[in-house]
Every structure is written in C-alpha cells, then in structure tokens.
Amino acid sequence: MKLEGKVAIVTGGGQGIGAGIVRCLAEEGADIAIVDLREETAGEIVKEVEALGRKAIAVHADATDSGQVTEAVRKVVDAFGKIDILVNNVGGGGARIKRTIPKEELTGLRCVDSEEEAWDKIMDLNAKSQFLMCRAVVPHLLKQKDGKIVNIGSRLARQVDISLSIYCTAKAAVIQYTNHLALELAPHGINVNCVCPGDVMTPNIEAAFARVAETNPDSKGKTPEELFLQVAGPRMAFNRIQTPEDMGRATVFLASEDARTITGQALYVDGGQTFL
C-alpha cells in the first residue's frame, strides 16, 4: 500500500469521478475526508471507505464559498489532526449554459452569447474552488513540509469545444494554477500536479444514457456501455469504457512517493482523446 497513514481531502468525493478517486486512495491505505454538498451520497462513499478498514468523514461544504471552505478544513484537521493530500475534484457545469438575454446579432456565436452569471458560476466551480481549498489547506501542508496536491483538470483544458467555451477556459486556468502553485510550493516539499480526464462513464452519465435508450428511438435497446462507446469511442484511441477509477489510479500515483520528484505536470488520462 502506497498511502498508509496519509490523510486525504477529496472535494466532490461523494459521487462521480471524485468517488472513484476516493476508492483508489482508500485502497492504498489513505484515510479520507470528503468535502461535498450532497450529504447523502457522500455518506454512502464514507461507508464504502470504512468497509475497507480506513477512517472516513463527510464534511458538508460548498467549495466555492470561502467561509464554508475554511470551516470544512478546520473540521478535517479536528478529526484527523493533519492533512497530507488534497484532491481538488469539484468542477463541472460544462454542459448547460442558459441564454436568457438573446442578442440577435450574436445568435449562434456561443463564446459571446452567454450570460455573465454563467461565466462566473463556471469559473467559480472549476477554478476558484481550487484556489479557496488550497488557501485553506496549504498552511497545514507547510507545517509538515510535505504534501501532495492533485488538481483535476480536463482534456478540455487543451482542446477546443466551442459549445463549452467557458468550461474549457476554466479548465485551462486549472493547468496554469497548478504550474504556479507547483513552483511556489516546491521549496516547501509540496508537489502539485494535475490529472486531466477525458470522457468518463460516471453513474450520472450511465443514468443519462439509460434514459436516452428509453426515449430515443435510434438508441432503443442499447446498453449505456454501447451508447458510451458510440459517443465517446470515436473520440478515443481505445474502444474502452473509461471509469472514475482510471482517474483514481493516476491520482494515487501522483499522490505517492513514487512521484516524489514530479511537480507541475498535467497527466492526461483520456485514452488518447486529446490527439484525435
């Protein structure tokens, strides 16, 4: 086991990619603090981690709210006495951008025809949340002159998808924040890296594909796996279902001593998607 005796915070660890990261960290021996808005799902993952023989807590907090972040980190330190690993996984908001202020001349120009509020929300969720968490956690890592931060980016940090322009921009910010934090914290023995997922079959995506199979005549009778490969397959070099655990294993590697001289790196876990 590579992470025995370590305490890891995973934001948004109660579901999706975050839950996969939590499982992989716990399998390698880490105790886990899930910082998440959804208490019910986070509670279920806590039970899974405890079943592995590790300690786990769920702390209810919005990672985009500095007051709640400060309070959440205090609770984690109260419970475990220290923090060794921070995984900034909270993110999203890529799919839906509301357009309530239609501007005739901007119709179809999706990079400029968005609400100001959408920009702020997506930036907050994907970029500011990482800044706020780091600001609260780094003092604890500095105390022990040791620590690992893994920020979750996206394949979209370096790919262009005009329908998701704000999300892509926010994820690119994650890469640059990772680089700067890595350089600044290096003299203090803290490694900062980034995992960039491609398309991942999370339970939410699986449920969405299941609904598609029920409602869309073209997809009738197809399994979520078949639909995932139909949609994401052509974008990947491998015709494989990419899972939250694929992200978890990369996160474990970067959080372990095996990666002790790796810092400021973006590791793309995307089945070669970024090149196609």
Partner 1 sequence: MSFEGKVVVITGAGMPNGIGAGIARCFASEKARVIITDLEGAPIDETIASIEGDVSSLIADASSQKAMFEATGQIIDQHGRIDVLVNNAGIGGPRPEREAPVEEILGSAMSDPVWDAQLVSNLRTTFASSSAVVQKMEDGGSIVNIASVAALGPATGLPAYGAAKAAVVHLTKTHAIQFAPRRIRVNCICPGLLYTRAWEMMTAQTKMNNPDLADVPQRKIFEDIVAQSTPLGGEQTPEDIGNLAVFYASDKARMITGAVVAVGGGMEL
- What amino acid positions are annotated as catalytic residues? 167
Nearest-approach distance from CB 145 to partner 1, in angstroms: 11
Give dist(CA 231, CA 216) in Å, integer: 14
Residue 47, amino acid: K
Find residue 150's DSSP bridge partners.
87, 193
Nearest-approach distance from CB 273 to partner 1, in angstroms: 9
Interface residue with partner 1, options 59, 156, 173, 182 (CB under 8 A) = 182
Residues 15-74 that bind partner 1 (CB under 8 A): none
Contact 273, 199 (CB under 8 A): yes
Encoded tokens for 33: 């603090």
* Nearest residue (CB) to partner 1, 127 versus 185: 185
Phi, psi of 238 (to 5 degrees): -115, 140
Contact 240, 271 (CB under 8 A): yes
Segment interacting with partner 1 (CB under 8 A) among 95-103, 149-157, 217-225, 247-255: 247-255
Interface residue with partner 1, options 189, 211, 220, 225 (CB under 8 A) = 189
Radius of gyration of the chain (CA): 19
The three-point CA angle 195-198-203 to 5° equals 100
Give dist(CA 43, CA 39) in Å, integer: 6
Phi, psi of 208 (to 5 degrees): -65, -40
Interface residue with partner 1, options 96, 113, 179, 234 (CB under 8 A) = 179
Interface residue with partner 1, options 191, 202, 228, 244 (CB under 8 A) = 191
Q: Binding mask 197-226 vs partner 1 (x if CB under 8 A, - otherwise)? A: -x----------------------------
Concatenate the DSSP letters of all residues of 247-267 into one string.
HHHHHHHHHSGGGTT--S-EE
Interface residue with partner 1, options 1, 109, 183, 207 (CB under 8 A) = 183
* Nearest residue (CB) to partner 1, 106 versus 205: 205
User: Is there binding between residue 270 and partner 1 (CB under 8 A)?
Assistant: yes
Segment interacting with partner 1 (CB under 8 A) among 9-17, 39-47, 116-124, 245-253: 245-253
Nearest-approach distance from CB 250 to partner 1, in angstroms: 7
The position carrying tokens 């394949």 is 155
User: Is there binding between residue 145 and partner 1 (CB under 8 A)?
Assistant: no
Give dist(CA 197, CA 36) in Å, integer: 20
Q: What is the dihedral of CA 268, 270, 272, 273, to 10 degrees?
A: -110
User: Is there binding between residue 167 and partner 1 (CB under 8 A)?
Assistant: no
* Nearest residue (CB) to partner 1, 96 versus 275: 275
Give dist(CA 60, CA 62) in Å, integer: 7
* Nearest residue (CB) to partner 1, 76 versus 236: 236
Nearest-approach distance from CB 264 to partner 1, in angstroms: 5
> Where does this chain bind partner 1 (CB under 8 A)?
179, 182-183, 186-187, 189, 191, 198, 237-238, 240, 242, 246, 249-250, 252-253, 258-265, 267-272, 274-276
